[in-house]
Structure 1
Amino acid sequence: MKITYWSDYACPYCYIGETRLKKIIANMPEMKGRQFELEMKAFQLDPYAEKFSTGDTQTRFAKKYGISMEEAGETIEKISKMGMREGLDFRYATTLFTNTLDAHRLTKFAMNTGDKKLTDSLIEKLYKAYFTDNKELADKEVLLNIAVECGLNKDEVKMLLDSDKYKDEVILDEKEASRYGIHSVPFFYVNGYGISGAQSEEYMKDTILAALEKENTKNENTHGMSCGPTGCIIG
């Protein structure tokens, strides 16, 4: 089963939702022995964000949503506790919001290697860099260090970050999201079913089970009646 999802590294619910989904799948008896693949697609919360952090999270939050500083602080704390309940060292209050285009381009570069394990490691480390280590994801040195730590070639990554390579691929992901009517993230697409946002564990489970049932029905219907070297299948 393939699960495609749109996400941004500066999105708290994306980190929480992806972590929750992975845990659910790992613990579902129905998924035992099944292969599943997570494919991340880019979605910038703010394509026009600065290259350097220009203020603290609480002030930015209050201004963006038109709420008081107190309300902003309470909301940020609530989101952080959600992340902690998923086992994440979640430090949302001290995040440094910047442009995430280069982080997404780096992810595309990793995907292009065909090394799924490396790509998954990079994605996880980029989330952690933002929400736990509170790094600026527009900082090329930060991205370079993470990439090298994951096993990517240092010189190739430097060349990538000094270019516009994979920018078009990032924009294509965002245009695809727009065509599907996706205007917020995370959004998970599972075999024809959509999960919008970091939904509850029960909701995610139910959606995955429905997707599995649909997949099983499809597989049964596509076999039909046929014959081969070992004999005939009688429907």
Structure 2
Amino acid sequence: MKIIHLSDFNCPYSYIGLNRITNACSELNLDVEWEMVSFELEPDIKSMSTIDRFAIKNGLSIKDARREIENIEKIAEDEGLNISYDMILRSSKDAHRLVKYVQNKNHPASQELIFKIFESNLVKNENIADHEILIGIAVSCGLDGDEIRELLKSDLLKIEVDLDMDEAISNGITTIPYYFIENNGERLIVPGVFEKESFKIAFKDLLSGEMKDRTFI
């Protein structure tokens, strides 16, 4: 089985959803090949607080924006994720380039790398636009620090990261996370963050051949 997920490291729901679907696969003992496809929610952002961004983007007061962020943190807490989303948003492009580079090499630590970048950004509130932060994470996953430094100093895979999002939008995808689950020539589309048990039902139906539609809702 292969699971392709459109996600962004600045998106707490991407982190929550990946945690849920990973746990569902683990509980069902599924053998999964994972692929993350980049979808930058804030491709042009340099530095802005999540509260200010929520207020501007959703037409909320600062008070209401803070309440929305607290609600997200509570959802994550219930999943065992200690997200601190009252933070500074920074560009995730280089983090996406790093993941794409490692995935292209079929490195076994790709999934570990993705989770550690999410944790660095959303739990520890580290600056994932900082190359030294990304290099440190990569090294902790067994990757060569000098190799990753050269990657990040270059423009390698910047176009590919942008094209990922362009292709998604051209296919009508405007929100994330978004999942494509492929098994024996069948593809199941799961739009959005589902509960772990719902993911498990979808997997069981797909594997049993009982899935009637190509989109699970």
Fold conserved between structures, TM > 0.5: yes
Within the alignment, does 1:25 sit opposite 2:25 as a pair? yes
Q: Which runs of 5+ in 2 are unaligned?
A: 212-217
Using the aligned pairs only, state the percent identity. Answer: 37
The C-alpha deviation readout for 1:190-223, integer Å capped at 9, x for no partner, is 232211111223432332223223399xxxxxxx
DSSP 3-state at the match of 2:124: coil
Distance 1:123 1:210, change over 3 A: same
Aligned to 2:50: 57
DSSP 3-state at the match of 1:128: helix
Q: Show the 5 A alignment for 1:41-80.
A: 41-50=37-46, 53-54=47-48, 56-80=49-73
The C-alpha deviation readout for 1:87-107, integer Å capped at 9, x for no partner, is 1121112x2201111000011
Bigger radius of gyration among the two: 1
DSSP 3-state at the match of 1:92: coil
CA distance in 2, matches of 1:172, 1:68: 34
Within the alignment, does 1:184 sit opposite 2:180 as a pair? no
DSSP 3-state at the match of 1:5: strand
Aligned to 1:204: 199
Q: Tell me the CA shift for residue 164 of structure 1.
A: 0.6
- Aligned partner (choices 109, 115, 118) of residue 107 of structure 2: 115
Q: Which runs of 5+ in 1 are unaligned?
A: 217-235
How many aligned residue pairs are there?
Answer: 208
Aligned to 1:233: none
CA distance in 1, matches of 2:170, 2:202: 22
Letter in 1 for 2:72: I
CA distance in 2, matches of 1:26, 1:161: 33
Distance 1:154 1:85, change over 3 A: same
DSSP 3-state at the match of 1:90: coil
Aligned to 2:158: 167
The C-alpha deviation readout for 1:148-176, integer Å capped at 9, x for no partner, is 22121121111111111011221232233
CA distance in 2, matches of 1:185, 1:132: 19
Within the alignment, does 1:39 sit opposite 2:39 as a pair? no
- Let me know the Cα RMSD of the aligned residues: 1.9
- Aligned partner (choices 201, 209, 214) of residue 209 of structure 2: 214
Which 4+ runs in 1 deviate beyond 4 A?
none
1:100–1:138 Cα contact (<8 Å) kept: yes
Q: Tell me the CA shift for residue 180 of structure 1.
A: 2.7
1:9–1:126 Cα contact (<8 Å) kept: yes
Letter in 2 for 1:165: L
